Amino acid sequence: MTETERIDLSTRTVGDGDRRVVFLHGLFGRGKNFTRIAKGLQPECTSLLVDLPNHGGSEWTADFDYLDMADHVAAELRADFASEGPVDVIGHSMGGKVAMVLALRHPDLVDRLVVEDISPVGTDADGAKASGDSEFDHLLSSLRALDLDALDGRSAADDALAGPIPNRTVRGFLLQNLRSGEEGLSWEPNLELLHDSLGTIGGFPDLGDARFERPVLWVGGADSDYIRPEYGDAMRALFPRAARVMIKGAGHWIHSQKPEEFIAVLRGFLLDDRD
């Protein structure tokens, strides 16, 4: 990717420690979702919370492509946060796939990699679509169906979503992406592109013979279905030094469901002696 193709990514920094950590969120998320986890890595770490393309305050793109997303993050890191050397990268779900592609395409930027509850395979790799595909389709369709011009604020939007999305916590997570301006309500994520790209989001690109030889921690939620035993070969083929940890009582959003346990796992992996 050339410098002229670089897009504007919105970022936020937490902490001022010597060790530098980058967080990449999942679908519907934004960098600030990892604020509590970043604070849990203080005082040792400085964390960069990134809004990925088509999310949060970052620029939209014409297409969804994991290779391009990883290259955009790489350009952002080279320009500043990783300008003095490799950093640790933590990615959840969609952001975990971006993090894996980043490590494989730009290994000089990544020291240690943490992949949260996602695998380097397509969601239909075993012939059956993961339940998350239909869930994300439903959520995106529900958001796109809202008539924002007819709503006078977030509370009204919450009420309108209560039928199709009865879980209050899920609605709150989604409504963080609703913004109010002079022209009324608008969604920050590129909902149309994301909905049209669900097949690509659920897949994983072919990176040929690429390998990442540095330490990798593969963290799964014991109640989730995104890390399966049969995915281990694909993970080890790309990341031969990957170790797996499963957190009891956690589903797909480990960092929000079990934050203290997640912080403890990260500290044990990121803050031990470097090899």
- The question of whether 76 is a catalytic residue gets the answer no
Amino acid at 64: F
Catalytic residue, from 197, 252, 255, 256: name it.
252
Contacts 24+ apart (CB under 8 A), 254-262: 254/92, 254/116, 254/117, 254/219, 254/220, 254/221, 255/33, 255/34, 255/36, 255/37, 255/92, 255/116, 256/33, 257/221, 258/221, 259/36, 259/37, 259/40, 260/40, 262/37, 262/116, 262/219
Q: What are phi and psi of 138, to 5 degrees?
A: -65, -45
The DSSP string of 192-209 is HHHHHTHHHHTS----TT
Catalytic residue, from 10, 47, 93, 197: name it.
93
Catalytic residue, from 192, 213, 230, 260: name it.
192
Which two structure tokens, joined as six digits, stand for 104?
């494989």
Positive or negative, the Cα torsion across 215, 43, 118, 190? negative
Cβ neighbours of residue 23 closer than 8 Å, sequence gap 6 or more: 31, 34, 37, 38, 47, 48, 49, 50, 90, 91, 95
**3-state DSSP assignment of residue 229:** helix
- The question of whether 255 is a catalytic residue gets the answer no
- The question of whether 93 is a catalytic residue gets the answer yes
> Which strands, in side-by-side order, build the sheet including 45-50?
11-14, 45-50, 19-24, 87-92, 110-116, 216-221, 242-247
> Are 113 and 212 within 8 A, CB to CB?
yes
Catalytic residues: 93, 192, 252
